[in-house]
């Protein structure tokens, strides 16, 4: 069963705009991750936030975590056409991750 | 480093045939996993391993077998292929020092007719 549910399912923005994606999960977690998948490729890890962290930054990425609401958001600032991909949140540990269904982001040049 | 290597990239099978999807990693990672990805379903865990000789079932293990005789290799066997096993299969690995972060292969696209 899916632990994470991303929202929206699809997002289309203009290059230079910010993209915000949300993830909700059901059970308590130790950490939450975001992955990116380009078309026809494997997933690539973007960022991990621990349950005792509220916000984390990595380059143009900002992730927030609200454990009271069981939700996380991924913000991509100043988007580029190369950010076009599917984005997944994932919870779990070691070799047992549970992924959401993903968000398809399209960035128009 | 090659990372996680999956072979083949594409495969077409007939119902009832068996085959093995290969996965190898050169990062000396302890943890390895197999997922399948279906449209609108995200990734679902099939089997996983926490080290050589140790495997366990994930969310959707029926119809698949795995073994882990070495740290590097984690093959996935389809015993008798069914059309419901048409999917894209991903192998992933993670190491003990950053055990929550998985590195994925490029995937195997399987069609069962």
Reported as a single tens digit per residue, the pLDDT across B68-85 is 999 999 999 999 999 999
Residue of B nearest to A1 (CA): B59
Q: Which residue has the tokens 């190369």?
A: A82
B102:A44 CB<8 A: no
Answer whether A43 sits within 8 Å of B90, measured CB to CB: yes
Percent of chain B at pLDDT exceeding 70: 98
Confidence label for B90 from pLDDT (cuts 50, 70 and 90): very high
pLDDT of residue A3: 65
Instruction: Give the number of beta-carbon pairs within 8 Å between A and B.
Output: 68
| Contact flag A94-B45 (C-beta cutoff 8 Å) | no
Largest CA distance in chain B: 42
Nearest CA in chain B to A97: B45
Say if the Cβ atoms of A95 and B31 lie within 8 Å.
yes
Per-chain mean pLDDT for chain B: 94
**Strand, coil or helix: what is A26?**
coil
Considering only CA atoms, which of A2, A47, A46 is closest in space to residue B38?
A2
User: Minimal Cα–Cα distance from A68 to chain B, Å?
Assistant: 22
| Cα–Cα distance measured from residue A75 to residue A64, given in angstroms and rounded to the nearest whole number | 9
User: What are A25-79's pLDDT values in tens digits?
Assistant: 998 899 999 999 999 999 999 999 999 999 999 999 999 999 999 999 999 999 9
């Amino acid at each position: 069963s899916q632990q994470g549910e991303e929202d929206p399912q699809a997002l289309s923005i203009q290059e230079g705009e910010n993209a915000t994606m949300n993830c909700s999960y059901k059970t308590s977690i130790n950490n939450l991750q975001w992955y990116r998948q380009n078309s026809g490729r494997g997933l690539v890890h973007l960022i991990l936030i621990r349950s005792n962290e509220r916000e984390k930054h990595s380059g143009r990425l900002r992730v927030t975590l609200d454990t009271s609401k069981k939700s996380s958001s991924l913000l991509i600032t100043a988007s580029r056409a190369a950010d076009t991909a599917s984005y997944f949140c994932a919870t779990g540990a070691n070799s047992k991750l549970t992924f959401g269904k993903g968000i398809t982001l399209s960035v128009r040049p | 480093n090659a990372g996680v290597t999956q072979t083949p990239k594409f495969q077409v099978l007939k119902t009832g045939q068996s085959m093995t999807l290969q996965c190898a990693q050169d990062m000396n990672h302890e943890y390895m996993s197999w997922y399948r990805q279906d449209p609108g379903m995200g990734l679902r865990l099939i089997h996983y391993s926490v080290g050589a000789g140790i495997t366990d079932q994930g969310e959707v293990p029926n119809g698949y077998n795995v073994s882990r005789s070495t740290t590097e290799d984690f093959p996935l066997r389809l015993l008798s292929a069914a059309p419901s096993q048409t999917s894209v299969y991903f192998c992933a690995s993670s190491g003990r020092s950053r055990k929550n972060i998985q590195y994925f292969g490029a995937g195997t696209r399987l069609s069962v007719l």
